[in-house]
Chains A and B, each alone.
Chain A
Amino acid sequence: MSNDPAPLLVVRDLKTYFFLDEGTVRAVDGVDFAVHPGQVVGIVGESGCGKSVTVKSVMRLVQRPGRLVAGTIRFRPSSQSAQRWPLAPDGTLDLAALDPQGPIMRAIRGGEIALIPQEPMAAFSPVHTIGNQIVEAIRLHQDVDRQTAWEWGVERLAEVGIPSPAQRMRAYSWELSGGLRQRAMIAMALACGPRLLIADEPTTAIDVTTQAQILTLLRALQEQHNMAIIFITHDLGVIAQIADHVVVMYLGRVMEAGPVEEIFLRPQHPYTRALLRSIPSIHTPSRTLLPTIQGSIPHPFNRPAGCPFHPRCGDFVPGLCDRNTPEPVPVSPTQTVSCHLYTGELHGEPIPDRSSPA
């Protein structure tokens, strides 16, 4: 699946900075990844690593004082109206070059790329009914009358498993439970049949049982509509459950990327390994301390030079890791790692994995 010759989305060297009075925060600092049609790409990382900013940059939703400063976002639109857009010869469009408020970008947002936000509670307006907001989403991208849009909305709500959908259309978001609210959000995102769905930690604010239902629902809908999903989370368990391909981020950079099996079974980057070690497992003997990653994420204004992970890395090579930023290198046909252990700047064999997770 991931070898599909025509990727849906290719992000290259994406840089999004926030220009504050106190200094510049390089929230996303040279991110590369690709999404193929029908693929679920999981972006994983700790809080503040730039996951959300990355996808907001893709949707061109970054607001002042943030700005997309470099990079390309090549997206392959599919809608009819795309014929009139200034596509490149290969049928893609560079979203980074578009006016974020312009008509093309607005047609893509919601129509081609849809978003499921983190907090379904706050993402619905409390003074408009759910139906009002779904109908608005439909009519923005489809030329249908209010009545038809309303009926479509009811169908969508039924599709995501909301009981008595016709009544729910007239309800306000705060009248629904957290799980139903997120389902309604998904229904709204799917209203116009997007090719790419961006789910920004959609299960963070929901309790665990509902979380599993939402994941199952998303996976089912993804297969049904053959859309691609970018799934953002800090929860490796969720990644294992839903993703085909994993992108591991740290401080605005991609540390490691590859198919989910390779990342979980053969992690190469010290950061990925550390992350995986810190997951409790049923094989861990009881009463043992769970390994943690030493230190903590640096202050946003105080990014380390060189590899951003070096102050916390067990394999830190003085004079190299704190000077040069490692570029991504392939370690297998499908897996890339940004680490000096693999760049060849360090002579000899990569340091063998000392404590591979079971």
Chain B
Amino acid sequence: MSTPDPAPAHRPPTPRTSSTLPQEAEAFYVAPNWKLVWWRFKRHRLALVSAVLLGFIALVALVPDFFSTQDPHASSKTESFIPVQRLHLFDQGRFRPFVYGVVGQRNPRTLRMEWVIDPEVKIPVRFFARGYEYKILGLIPFDRHLIGVEFPGDEGKIHLLGTDRLGRDQWSRLMHGTQVSLSIGLVAVFLSIFLGILMGGISGYYGGVVDLVIQRLIEILQSLPPIPIWMALTAAMPRDWSVEQVYFAITVILSLIGWTTLGREVRGRFLSLREEDFVVAARLSGCSEMRIIFRHMLPAFMSHIIAASTLAIPVMIINETFLSFLGLGLRPPAISWGVLLQEAQNLQSIALAPWLLLPGLAVIVTVLALNILGDGLRDAADPYR
């Protein structure tokens, strides 16, 4: 039987004799799988941009203090709801970064302090400025920050994203929230991958009764309405748990339901791979089951797992944000994107301080970038789907 004769447009270049091939085509045929994936991925510009952006966000998550301007927990009753002080890089055509100062006036009717931008006052700003002391990764003491006032002192505080009800600096809180939200997403996905590969692998590899039981379990878990279940589970956490305990519990709760999608994916791959010629060949040549799984089958769908996991992270992030936003997830003093957005829960707060919505942009940008990256990876891993 010879292959059919499809239109060339849909035909991937198939290996022919090497003698007639130009150099780059030759390289193409002998390249290992990961290299092929990388080549295809590189052509997806937007995914590449997303990867760079996410690299930057990950850096923020690693050393949030470096990117902060102030201690995220420091509150000041007198400095609540200060509006956004936009960073200006050029002053009269010369590179001299500054922000405008703010002046507070007490509203005679509500007796509330109201802050307005004062274009008369320019607070000079510099990069790599000295500020409060912190430890990089909890180890190395450091006191430099990406942005800071040139002359430290009470007069010169800057609030790039304004302040909240308690006068805490939103920009610094956002940086710290990035660490928590991103890491919850990552850890929850890792747990899901672990559970998914374990259960999906067992299910797909052994088949039979084991497969049936696991599949029914997945079906039941998937037919549960996730949001009420998450809400109920998180609400069941004891109130007196520490921030770390709550953090851990939330990742576990998120991944308990999240693994089912990955589990299905892994099982499907396992089932189709089990019948593949190269696996049969490996078995016939006497490979042990472990070797078949880890040397032959796992590499064949590693790229799919990575792509699927990348797409699962944003789901976890959004879910954490939901829960914390509703007050069921992380609770202050923990800082996460959801906790930050909790400040903007009602119309009165937003009407008074619209900048409280800005942390939502961080959620959108991160989730967007992760989705684009995941799609790019998936297309690169599996171009014919």
**In the complex, chain B residues 1-54 whose Cβ is within 8 Å of any chain A Cβ:** 1-9, 11, 13, 16-17, 19-22, 25
Does A109 sit within 8 A of B, measured CB to CB? no
CB distance A298 to B20 under 8 Å?
Answer: yes
Q: Which residues of B contact A46 (CB under 8 A)?
A: 2
CB distance A296 to B20 under 8 Å?
Answer: yes
The smallest beta-carbon distance between A115 and chain B, in angstroms, is 14
Q: Which of B8, B19, B21, B25 contacts A25 (CB 8 A)?
A: B8
Q: Chain A: how many interface residues by the 8 Å CB criterion?
A: 30
Q: Which residues of A contact B5 (CB under 8 A)?
A: 47-49, 51-52, 118, 201, 232, 234
CB distance B6 to A52 under 8 Å?
Answer: yes
Q: Which residues of A contact B7 (CB under 8 A)?
A: 18, 27, 52-53, 56, 62-63, 66
0/1 interface trace, chain A 42-82, chain B, CB 8 Å (1 if under):
00001111011100100000110110000000000000000
The smallest beta-carbon distance between B55 and chain A, in angstroms, is 27
CB distance A295 to B17 under 8 Å?
Answer: yes
The smallest beta-carbon distance between B9 and chain A, in angstroms, is 5
Most buried by A among B4, B6, B16, B19: B4
Does A297 sit within 8 A of B, measured CB to CB? yes
A53 to B11, CA, bound (A): 13
* Closest residue of B by beta carbon distance from A118: B4
CB distance A299 to B25 under 8 Å?
Answer: yes
CB distance A296 to B8 under 8 Å?
Answer: no
CB distance A299 to B21 under 8 Å?
Answer: yes
Q: Which of A62, A119, A204 contacts B1 (CB 8 A)?
A: A204
Q: Which residues of B contact A53 (CB under 8 A)?
A: 7-8
Q: Which of B2, B3, B8, B16 contacts A298 (CB 8 A)?
A: B16
A20 to B5, CA, bound (A): 18
A204 to B21, CA, bound (A): 30
CB distance A299 to B8 under 8 Å?
Answer: no
CB distance A296 to B1 under 8 Å?
Answer: no
Q: Which residues of A contact B2 (CB under 8 A)?
A: 46-47, 204, 234
- Chain B, interface size category, equals 10 to 19
Does A91 sit within 8 A of B, measured CB to CB? no
Q: Which residues of A contact B21 (CB under 8 A)?
A: 299, 302
CB distance B9 to A47 under 8 Å?
Answer: no
Does A86 sit within 8 A of B, measured CB to CB? no
Q: Which of A66, A297, A299 contacts B9 (CB 8 A)?
A: A66
Q: Which residues of B contact A62 (CB under 8 A)?
A: 7
CB distance A302 to B4 under 8 Å?
Answer: no
A299 to B11, CA, bound (A): 11
* Closest residue of A by beta carbon distance from B4: A118
**In the complex, chain A residues 274-301 whose Cβ is within 8 Å of any chain B Cβ:** 295-300
**In the complex, chain A residues 7-34 whose Cβ is within 8 Å of any chain B Cβ:** 18, 20, 25, 27
Q: Which residues of A contact B17 (CB under 8 A)?
A: 295-296
The smallest beta-carbon distance between B15 and chain A, in angstroms, is 10
CB distance B20 to A295 under 8 Å?
Answer: yes
A201 to B115, CA, bound (A): 79
A62 to B6, CA, bound (A): 11
Q: Which residues of A contact B6 (CB under 8 A)?
A: 52
CB distance B9 to A65 under 8 Å?
Answer: yes
Does A311 sit within 8 A of B, measured CB to CB? yes
A49 to B7, CA, bound (A): 10
Q: Which of B9, B13, B22, B25 contacts A18 (CB 8 A)?
A: B9
A246 to B318, CA, bound (A): 65
A66 to B6, CA, bound (A): 12
A49 to B4, CA, bound (A): 11
CB distance A300 to B8 under 8 Å?
Answer: yes
**In the complex, chain A residues 107-143 whose Cβ is within 8 Å of any chain B Cβ:** 118-119
* Closest residue of B by beta carbon distance from A297: B16
Q: Which of B3, B4, B9, B20 contacts A20 (CB 8 A)?
A: B9
* Closest residue of A by beta carbon distance from B13: A299
Can you identify 14 A-B contacts, CB atoms within 8 angstroms?
A18-B8, A48-B8, A48-B11, A49-B5, A52-B5, A65-B9, A66-B7, A118-B4, A118-B5, A204-B1, A204-B2, A234-B2, A296-B17, A302-B22
Further pairs besides A52-B5, A63-B7, A297-B16: 16, Cβ < 8 Å: A20-B9, A27-B7, A52-B6, A66-B7, A118-B4, A201-B5, A204-B2, A295-B20, A296-B17, A296-B20, A298-B20, A299-B16, A299-B20, A299-B21, A300-B11, A311-B20
**Which 4 pairs across A and B sit closest by C-beta, in order of nearness?**
A25-B8, A52-B5, A18-B9, A296-B16
